[in-house]
């Protein structure tokens, strides 16, 4: 039901942001809803619901939190990035894995994610009340629930003990738009996973078919669910869903690894969901940030040295060639995209899940070598389960390194599983540093209801 051009995102986002900032913020997890003044009258038909949905997509590209700060700083926590020439000194806390709860960027990212959740909840609750075409309603709700699931998952990975579903240190879940100052306690990790999976199940059943990389679809929802299940350690079901995405034929690997970043947002074959960008007007966004605020780590450059993906990933001057020093439609890029999910990652999710869940070395090796074959690198031969798991982890760093910090979350997961000792890669003072502290403001304004993460 894409009845409006994507440019409406900017118009709607500007309006909703002005209304948002006019309201007093009680707590970063209790942001005010879109159109707070006339909340009851905002969504009265499907056209308005669709417009609000476009505005919610727009939050992903408004500012730098989703496209630059979150992926860049997570990569600093991991192995692939360091602070660039213009990066603030507070970035070093992420590089050193010693982040303070008062760090400005912790609060910026956290607040922006809850802002998106609030908008998604507004769509879900108001659209459910509408009369009319149930399939059209459900598609809108499904897209909003996918965005809600994605954001809750991002929050859980950064601020919750996602690696232990028995932990009480989940996140503050949001299922309703905020119309008052009610402060919620943190939910458990299991409850957080359950809501994320419930949203994705609805999206898989009711979401739109894949048609455009700028919008969520039932295919992306299925791919994201496979990833969530991998993190939840439900490996067999994660493998099954990942294989369904691969076998759907709706997305295919690019002919070469470099094609991913040459094509960007034009005629891409393997991207499932990404942000658009306007190279003429979106200046000083990801392309600038990823060459000035963040730069590639020496560890990453050395890691890539003998891999045939090196030139596609790393420019001759040492910059991030995925997002810099490249041209698009004949112009030097001043803006760029954020890839939320590509098919190459789904192959690697499948490889790890089928290996951990079913001990199927043959299937895992086949999926891994599919990525190796596309990259032009030598294919792997059959080996032990332990060795193959590590090759899958490394392959993800070859494919997704210096993009969104995925290698950090892999280090955490593999460390918890006992496959590696994370201190061999990034020395930590304690396992409490596997996640970030909640922002100081959120703790202080919760009147003791929101508990800080251990040892912060």
pLDDT tens column, 139-173: 999 999 999 999 999 999 999 999 999 999 999 99
CB within 8 Å of 264: residues ≥ 6 apart: 328, 336, 337
Question: For residues 93 and 100, is the Cβ–Cβ distance under 8 A?
Answer: yes
What is the average pLDDT score of the chain?
90
Average pLDDT, integer, range 86-104: 98
Helix, strand, coil proportions of the chain in percent (round to 5)? 55, 5, 40
Q: Which of 412, 332, 360, 409 is nearest to 70 (CA)?
A: 409
Question: For residues 292 and 87, is the Cβ–Cβ distance under 8 A?
Answer: yes
pLDDT interval class at 329 (50, 70, 90): low
Is the pLDDT score of 26 beyond 70? no
| Alpha carbon distances (Å) from 431 to 74, 168, 415, 438, 455 | 16, 16, 10, 16, 10
- Exposed, middle or buried: residue 183 (CB in 10 Å: 0-12, 13-18, 19+)? middle
pLDDT in tens, 248-281: 999 999 999 999 999 999 999 999 999 998 887 7
pLDDT interval class at 129 (50, 70, 90): very high
Is the pLDDT score of 5 beyond 50? no
Average pLDDT, integer, range 291-320: 96
83 three-class SS: strand
The pair of structure tokens assigned to 422 is 């994370």
Domain with CATH 1.25.40.890 in the chain: 8-62+103-207+435-444
Is the pLDDT score of 17 beyond 70? no
Is the pLDDT score of 19 beyond 50? no
Global confidence as pTM = 0.92
Average pLDDT, integer, range 311-333: 80
Q: How far apart are CA 162 and CA 193, in angstroms?
A: 9
Domain covering 221-419, topology:
1.25.40
Instruction: Supply the pLDDT for residue 331.
Output: 67
Domain with CATH 1.25.40.390 in the chain: 221-419
pLDDT interval class at 222 (50, 70, 90): very high
pLDDT interval class at 11 (50, 70, 90): very low
The pair of structure tokens assigned to 306 is 């003998």
Is the pLDDT score of 13 beyond 60? no
CATH architecture entry for 8-62+103-207+435-444: Alpha Horseshoe (1.25)
Average pLDDT, integer, range 58-71: 96
């Amino acid at each position: 039901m894409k009845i409006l051009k994507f440019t409406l995102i900017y118009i709607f986002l500007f309006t909703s942001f002005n209304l948002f900032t006019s309201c007093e913020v009680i707590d970063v997890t209790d942001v005010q809803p879109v159109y707070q003044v006339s909340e009851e009258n905002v969504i009265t038909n499907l056209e308005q619901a669709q417009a609000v949905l476009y505005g919610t997509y727009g939050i992903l590209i408004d500012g730098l939190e989703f496209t630059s700060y979150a992926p860049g700083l997570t990569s600093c926590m991991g192995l692939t990035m360091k602070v660039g020439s213009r990066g603030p000194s507070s970035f070093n806390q992420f590089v050193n894995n010693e982040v303070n709860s008062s760090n400005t960027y912790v609060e910026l990212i956290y607040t922006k994610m809850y802002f998106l959740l609030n908008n998604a909840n507004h769509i879900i609750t108001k659209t459910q009340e509408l009369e009319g075409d149930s399939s059209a309603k459900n598609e809108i709700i499904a897209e909003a629930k996918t965005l809600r699931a994605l954001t809750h998952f991002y929050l859980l990975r950064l601020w919750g003990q996602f690696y232990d579903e028995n932990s009480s240190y989940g996140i503050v879940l949001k299922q309703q738009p905020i119309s008052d100052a009610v402060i919620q306690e943190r939910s458990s990790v299991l409850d957080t996973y359950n809501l994320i999976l419930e949203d994705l199940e609805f999206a898989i059943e009711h979401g739109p078919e894949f048609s455009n990389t700028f919008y969520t679809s039932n295919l992306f929802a299925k791919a994201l669910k496979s990833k969530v299940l991998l993190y939840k350690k439900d490996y067999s079901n994660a493998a099954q869903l990942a294989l369904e995405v691969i076998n759907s034929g709706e997305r295919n690997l690019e002919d070469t690894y470099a094609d991913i970043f040459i094509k960007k947002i034009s005629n891409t074959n393997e991207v499932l969901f990404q942000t658009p960008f306007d190279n003429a007007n979106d200046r000083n966004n990801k392309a600038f940030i990823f060459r000035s605020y963040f730069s590639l780590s020496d560890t990453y450059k050395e890691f890539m040295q003998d891999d045939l993906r090196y030139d596609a990933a790393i420019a001759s001057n040492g910059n991030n060639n995925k997002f810099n020093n490249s041209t698009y439609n004949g112009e030097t890029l001043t803006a760029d995209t954020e890839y939320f999910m590509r098919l190459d990652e789904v192959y690697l999710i499948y490889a790890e899940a089928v290996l951990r869940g079913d001990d199927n070395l043959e299937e895992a090796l086949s999926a891994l070598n599919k990525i190796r074959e596309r990259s032009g690198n030598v294919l792997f031969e059959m080996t032990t389960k332990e060795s193959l798991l590590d090759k899958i982890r490394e392959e993800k760093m070859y494919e997704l390194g210096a993009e969104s910090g995925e290698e950090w979350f892999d280090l955490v997961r593999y460390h918890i599983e006992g496959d590696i000792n994370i201190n061999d890669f990034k020395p930590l003072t304690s396992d409490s540093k596997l996640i970030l502290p909640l922002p100081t403001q959120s703790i202080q304004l919760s009147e003791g209801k929101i508990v800080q993460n251990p040892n912060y």
